[in-house]
Structure 1
Amino acid sequence: MLYITIISVLAALLFLTRLFFIKREIKRVTMQLNQFNHKQTEKKVDLAFFETDLEKLASEINRQIDSTMQAQAEKQRTENELKQAIANISHDIRTPMTSILGYIQLLESADIDPEQRTEYTTIVKKGALRLKVLLEDFFELSVIESADYPLNIESIKLNQIVPEVLVGFYEAFYQRGLEPIIHLPEEEVIIKADVSAVKRVIENLLSNALKHSTGNVIICLEKRRSSVELTISNPAGCLTEKDLFFLFDRFYKADQTRIGKGTGLGLSIAKGLMKKMNGNLTAELQEEHLMMKCEWKI
């Protein structure tokens, strides 16, 4: 009987001791969380007393801390991007708007000859068209990024769509004195995608290549074992690896001297459309050639 009593007392002491350490550790964890929540520290929760359930709890808390810090970093990045976008929009709108208003004042003058009036009217028209393109691109990008953007995913023949889009760029290539080098397979290349979205992606990539290329543009369509790849490449000697990191950001222009040469939204729109179609758009720099690669999984 005495033996049982002693064992019971020891068990009770062991239980109370364990309970004491667990409660103390819970208080310690609570204090660490309080410091984290009040931004006094960014350190994760650590334990001084190790117990299976406490370790699981600490692990889940630390996982939540990681998620919270990641969300905060993403929020900060988005806010910075939004501020930059607003600044760029303001600049891109202000520049042609100032020009338009200035030339309208000149047109209101009574002592200008018909030739000058025609010239000023042409300048005003170009400025208005640039504003139209900017606003349309910005609206399209905002729509694409919405969760309910409609897509009609179906089986389409990519080796037929690429030439259709290229025909529309014949005049642009001719005016630049450039020749598209086209590599298309004879066999049918079928992907699951939205026809209009695919055409828009190709148009944006070709437009970007035409604006910035210092040589001929190469269009290559390949059917691989598990994917289809469309690559549009062009010489881009002024481009750096650093530029590739920002290339798909809104309003980013690698050559900041090209004022009025585009909104800087074309590649962002293409990237967004590819993502919506469960595809991927990447950029590589190989031997001073910019390679834009669209990939669809088969």
Structure 2
Amino acid sequence: MLGIIITVLSVIIIFQFIYICNTKKQIKEISHILDDIGSGNLDRRLLAVENSIVSDLVYKINAIVIRDKEKLMEKDKSEKAYKKLVTSLSHDIRTPLASLIGYLEVLEKNGVTGEEHDEFLTIAKRKALNLGDYIQSLFEFLKIESGEWVYDLKKQNICELTRLILADWVIKLEENKIEFRFEIPEEAVYVVLDKSAYTRILTNLMANMIRHSHATQLSVRISCSLNELNLSIADNGIGIAEKDLPFVFDRLYKCDTSRTENSNGLGLSIAKELTASLHGEIHAESCWGRGTTFRLTFPKA
């Protein structure tokens, strides 16, 4: 009997010794892999026998490594996007600024007179205004990106607010010989909005249409369903190419068509960001050569 007990104990001790040795070996391998991971190789993964004493720890460490790798990839992607942004912004500011300076230097040095002087002065003023619009858009874009745009959300009669905003565009539409039709309900429809954000959304959409669509007709229409307000801005301009349509709201995206004239690639991006912040949605529909429609929806108060 004693011999059997000794034999059983001996077997248990041997198995325990083997188990400890294997565990020690696993821990040493884990330590080597962790050193490699610590040196920056986030593609390494720890290995462990299933249901071993270290398996749960290994799974958790691997999850942390995978998460850190994803964060690093996202950071690298963000840094590349930031560098692209800075490069694009620098170019977009330098180009019109250099052109403006060129016209002003001609006016100053070459003694231009008469109609040519007036023409150069008009061009210089237009370029200065375009540059001012771009800088304004840039400030707004950076405020949104940094989270510094302060929203004053209040219950607003969106029909009345829309009429007031569009009234400021009537002269501009007439100057550009664009026929317009506004279909806005007389009754009050209430939506929770930030007035300045909503004004900027409509301003950017109207400016985009006037500058880039080459339209002769424009319609703005508001309709309501049970829980939503729907607003559409439609023109009969040149439209947006099918390949460009999915990207028109991307920051700094510019279509490679005549729509890019004086474009800074920020207006529609700002409109989308602000619309989302007001819990709304915005979509673009277009057919090349047959016009563009922007559709917005907001939840009714």
Q: If the TM-score is normalised by the length of the shorter chain, which range does it land in?
A: 0.7 to 0.9
- Asked whether 1:196 is paired with 2:196, we answer yes
Instruction: Give matches, 1:100-139, under 5 Å.
Output: 100-109=100-109, 111-139=111-139
Indicate the percent of aligned positions where both proteins have the same amino acid.
27
Q: For residue 67 of structure 1, report the CA deviation from its aligned partner.
A: 3.0
Provide Cα deviations, 1:71-90, integer angstroms capped at 9, x if missing partner.
23332332232232223223
- Asked whether 1:213 is paired with 2:213, we answer yes
Given that 2:247 and 2:253 are in contact with CA atoms closer than 8 Å, whether structure 1 keeps it comes out as yes
Residues 104 and 127 of structure 1, relative CA distance in 2, 3 Å threshold: same
2:270 alignment partner in structure 1? 269
Q: CA RMSD in A?
A: 3.5
Provide Cα deviations, 1:216-239, integer angstroms capped at 9, x if missing partner.
445444545555443434467663
Counterpart CA distance in 2 for 1:116 and 1:57 is: 79
Residues 296 and 112 of structure 1, relative CA distance in 2, 3 Å threshold: closer
Counterpart CA distance in 2 for 1:138 and 1:250 is: 11
1:292 alignment partner in structure 2? 294
More moved, 192-201 vs 145-154: 145-154
Given that 1:244 and 1:284 are in contact with CA atoms closer than 8 Å, whether structure 2 keeps it comes out as yes
What 5-or-longer segments of structure 2 have no aligned partner?
A: none
Instruction: Give matches, 1:1-298, under 5 Å.
Output: 2=2, 5-38=6-39, 40=41, 42=43, 45=45, 47-51=47-51, 54-109=54-109, 111-180=111-180, 182=182, 184=184, 188-213=188-213, 215=215, 216-224=217-225, 227-234=228-235, 239-255=240-256, 257=258, 261-277=262-278, 279-285=279-285, 290-297=292-299
Counterpart CA distance in 2 for 1:23 and 1:228 is: 67
Q: For residue 168 of structure 1, report the CA deviation from its aligned partner.
A: 2.0
Provide Cα deviations, 1:190-246, integer angstroms capped at 9, x if missing partner.
332211111111211222233333654454445455554434344676634542443
Counterpart CA distance in 1 for 2:193 and 2:106 is: 50
Which residue identity lines up with residue 86 of structure 2 in the other structure? I
Of structures 1 and 2, the larger Rg is shown by 2
Provide Cα deviations, 1:242-283, integer angstroms capped at 9, x if missing partner.
424432333321145556523221112223323433x25443
Give the 3-state SS of the residue equivalent to 1:108 in structure 2.
helix
Q: For residue 64 of structure 1, report the CA deviation from its aligned partner.
A: 3.0
What 5-or-longer segments of structure 1 have no aligned partner?
A: none
Counterpart CA distance in 1 for 2:55 and 2:256 is: 53
> Stretches of 4+ moved more than 6 A in 1?
none
Residues 259 and 208 of structure 1, relative CA distance in 2, 3 Å threshold: closer
Using the size of structure 2 for normalisation, the TM-score is 0.78
Give the 3-state SS of the residue equivalent to 2:283 in structure 1.
strand
Which residue identity lines up with residue 206 of structure 1 in the other structure? M
Q: For residue 129 of structure 1, report the CA deviation from its aligned partner.
A: 1.9
